[in-house]
Amino acid sequence: MYIWYLRLVYAACVLALCVVVFGAYVRLSDAGLGCPDWPGCYGHLVLPADDAARASAQAAYPDRALEAGKAWREMIHRYLASTLGFLILLIAALAWLDRQDPRQPVVLPLLLLGVVIFQGLLGMWTVTLLLKPLIVMAHLIGGLTTTAMLFWLILEHRRRDRRPVLAESSGLAIVGLAVLVLQIALGGWTSSNYAALACPDLPTCGGEWFPSRADFSEAFVMWRGLGIDYEGGVLEAPARVAIHYTHRLGALLATLVLGFLGIRYLRDRRPELRRAARFVLLALAAQVSLGISIVWFGLPLPLATAHNGVAALLLLATLNLLHSLRRTPAAV
């Protein structure tokens, strides 16, 4: 039974990463409300194919024009996410049924099931609350949390014969992870408020090192009530500048912390830590390059989608380094 559990964990981890990347593509291509209802799409589980059925579906939702391309992107994302949820349900069930096996973790798979159920609710609220930025950001974090937990289960399996030692410097990796999670949340807030191009130049913002017109008082209001359609954003330009500028500062901090972390263990005597540090530095370099390119080239969709995908890879690389530290004896 354990081997089937393990196969499902590997498959679910790959699928979770695909769901995160495709979800970013859906959001960035303005298809987040491609289906105005949930869980169906214009009242159907499969978008109607013929003109008469589409006209009937459109009549049921006259305030939201039916755009087949956007609707299909949203529905494909839902199909993938539903498949992922089913796999995680099977993982939790197998973990519980095989709980007497000493190799089998139980607590984390059950927690993972709880996370993915809540993630499903966030997906519903993303649509029903009309792309409310707080919900969209939480949905992104939930998707990455799901991916990270699956990846952690894989790491636990691969290194299960090693006793946790909590090396003397693992605190730095924990700080790096915390800074990265905060930066990812800022990225989700930037994207959901359509502030990715609020500063069109680099390294300055609107020709200033500190943008004088930035409105921080409006930039981070988490809740603005119900019934507001956030598609396209509702903030004025100064608030979007403040969000973008904060995200840049966060990127600088994350680069410094993770760069220091990677270089610190790149020089370590232990080959496993050196390898893990290389993955962190490679993912970090790719992410910084993508962030700069997005501004320079005006937010092209492929680069913006890749920016989300590499953020996920950077998160997994940081988790791998942290796990390596916990499972690798201190150098003597």
Q: 74 catalytic, yes or no? A: yes
> Where are the chain's structural domains?
1-161, 165-332
Looking at residue 62, its pLDDT comes to 86
Query: Residues with Cβ < 8 Å from 203, sequence gap 6 or more?
Result: 209
Query: Span 271-281, mean pLDDT?
Result: 96
Query: Span 85-95, mean pLDDT?
Result: 98
pLDDT in tens, 121-166: 999 999 999 999 999 999 999 999 999 999 999 999 998 766 665 5
Percent of all residues in the chain with a pLDDT value above 90, rounded to a whole number: 81
Query: Span 106-116, mean pLDDT?
Result: 98
Distance from CA of residue 46 to its chain's centroid? 26
Looking at residue 52, its pLDDT comes to 81
Helices and strands, number each (H, E), in the chain: 10, 0
Task: For residue 36, count other CB atoms closer than 10 A to its CB.
Answer: 20
User: Which amino acid appears at position 266 of this protein?
Assistant: L
Nearest Cα neighbor of 172 from 104, 252, 259, 248 is: 259
- Where b means 16+ CB within 10 Å and e means fewer, 98-124 reads eeeeeebbeebbbebbebbeebbebbb
Least confident interval from 54-63, 208-217, 245-254: 54-63
pLDDT in tens, 19-28: 999 999 999 9
Give yes or no for a contact between 264 and 277, defined as CB atoms under 8 angstroms apart.
yes
Looking at residue 58, its pLDDT comes to 82
Query: How high does pLDDT run on average in the chain?
Result: 93
Angle at 221 between CA 137 and CA 197, to 5 degrees: 60
| Alpha helix stretches (DSSP H) within 206-270 | 216-219, 237-266
300 — pLDDT class (breaks 50, 70, 90): very high
Query: Span 197-219, mean pLDDT?
Result: 95
What is each CA distance from 53 to 56, 57, 58, 152, in whole angstroms?
Answer: 5, 6, 9, 45
pLDDT of 168 higher than 60: no
Tokens 């491609």 sit at which residue?
A: 34
Looking at residue 165, its pLDDT comes to 59
Q: How far apart are CA 189 and CA 203, in angstroms?
A: 21
Looking at residue 329, its pLDDT comes to 65
Least confident interval from 231-235, 242-246, 323-327: 323-327
Q: How far apart are CA 30 and CA 71, in angstroms?
A: 10
* pTM (2 d.p.): 0.94
Selecting among 74, 208, 218, 231, the annotated active-site residue is: 74
Q: 323 — phi, psi (to 5°)?
A: -65, -40
